[in-house]
Amino acid sequence: MSDAVKSTVEEADGGEEGRTGFFGRNESPKNRKRRRLITSLVVIFVGWELFGRYGIENRLFFAPISEIFLSGVDAWASGELQGHISASFQELLYGMLLATGIGIAFGVLIAVNQSVREHCDPIVSALYATPTVAIAPILITAFGLGITSKVAVVFLIAVFPIVINTTVGIRQTQESFIETAYSFNATRWQVITKVLVPSSIPFVIAGIRLGVGRGIVGVVVGELFGADRGLGIFIFEAGQTFDAAPQFLGILILCFAGMTLTGLLQWTEKKMAPWHHFSLDKE
């Protein structure tokens, strides 16, 4: 293949150089994505500031982004914010690690074992549909006001998307892959570990991404029902005093945490399952 043809193919595939950027330079897809993200955030925050300053008079339920930032500086300087962030993210981390490990293992078991699937499918569906608000008080009563009850809430709300997505991902494996593995005298265990589990990686990571979002909700719900530290109680206490800036500060921290974790999982998926990523729009 000639160099000209190779260059054309690389550009069409979103290669290293990508398309021409705003200033006429060649811009890589990574830089283009970063620029668009920053532009979106700047537009949102400028619009937020203008609306908070000039579009609304009642500051009891809305605050400009500058006031939220100053509130964060004050809370950080006092040491209060670090304690709340640490408590919430410990709960989220432990709950998600537990949910990921058990969710993947149980999802694989359901997918490969028909007896387990027939017994557990209705139970998983029922528990997945159960409102977290109804379960949180029971778990807090059982495990107390410490971190254990919040981890239990996060685990219970996050594990079912992982179980379901893992099961679906394995069941979606092409039958020809399995037949090919058996034709090379692969054992059942080898088919599971070398064919079924790798082919389900995009589904598993999608389940973890859903679990992260639900887990953050679980952290807040658990802390609202009983906690002395955490972003949930931080937001609640600010609401009790009608102080909108700290309320939005806590909400924004949780939003950015979810965005960061989702981005990290997307990066992980691209590394572990590059065949799953393609683009119809190269602009």
- pLDDT tens-digit profile of 61-79? 788 888 888 888 988 988 8
pLDDT at 188 over 60: yes
Nearest Cα neighbor of 208 from 64, 102, 130 is 102
Task: State which residues form the domain around 159.
Answer: 84-273
- pLDDT tens-digit profile of 261-274? 988 888 888 877 76
Average pLDDT over residues 175-200: 83
- The total number of structural domains in the chain stands at 1
Tell me the angle at which helices 201-225 and 132-143 cross, rounded to the nearest 10 degrees: 70
In angstroms, the CA 230 to CA 223 distance is 7
Longest dimension (CA), the chain: 73
Nearest Cα neighbor of 81 from 218, 262, 254 is 254
Whether 74 is covered by a domain: the verdict is no
Average pLDDT over residues 167-175: 85
Whether 232 is covered by a domain: the verdict is yes
Mean of pLDDT over the chain: 81
What is the 3 state secondary structure string of the chain? CCHHHHHHHHHHCCCCCCEECCCCCEECHHHHHHHHHHHHHHHHHHHHHHHHHHHCCCCCCCCCHHHHHHHHHHHHHHCHHHHHHHHHHHHHHHHHHHHHHHHHHHHHHHHHCHHHHHHHHHHHHHHHCCCHHHHHHHHHHHHCCCHHHHHHHHHHHHHHHHHHHHHHHHHCCCHHHHHHHHHCCCCHHHHHHHHHHHHCHHHHHHHHHHHHHHHHHHHHHHHHHCCCCCHHHHHHHHHHCCCHHHHHHHHHHHHHHHHHHHHHHHHHHHHHCHHHCCCCCCC
Whether 218 is covered by a domain: the verdict is yes
Tally of CB atoms within 10 A around 235: 22
Q: What percent of the chain has pLDDT over 90?
A: 16
Whether 38 is covered by a domain: the verdict is no
The better pLDDT of the pair 155, 273 is held by 155
Average pLDDT over residues 126-149: 81
Whether 268 is covered by a domain: the verdict is yes
Nearest Cα neighbor of 154 from 232, 82, 84 is 232
Two tokens, residue 87: 């408590």
In angstroms, the CA 3 to CA 131 distance is 59
Q: What is the pTM of this model?
A: 0.78
- Output the domain CATH number for residue 212: 1.10.3720.10
In angstroms, the CA 194 to CA 181 distance is 9
pLDDT at 239 over 90: no
Q: Are 282 and 19 in contact (CB under 8 A)?
A: yes
Average pLDDT over residues 236-260: 87
pLDDT on residue 103? 93
Highest mean pLDDT among 113-122, 201-210, 270-279: 201-210
Whether 244 is covered by a domain: the verdict is yes
pLDDT at 100 over 90: yes
pLDDT on residue 175? 80
Whether 174 is covered by a domain: the verdict is yes
Nearest Cα neighbor of 178 from 199, 162, 163, 209 is 199
Whether 283 is covered by a domain: the verdict is no
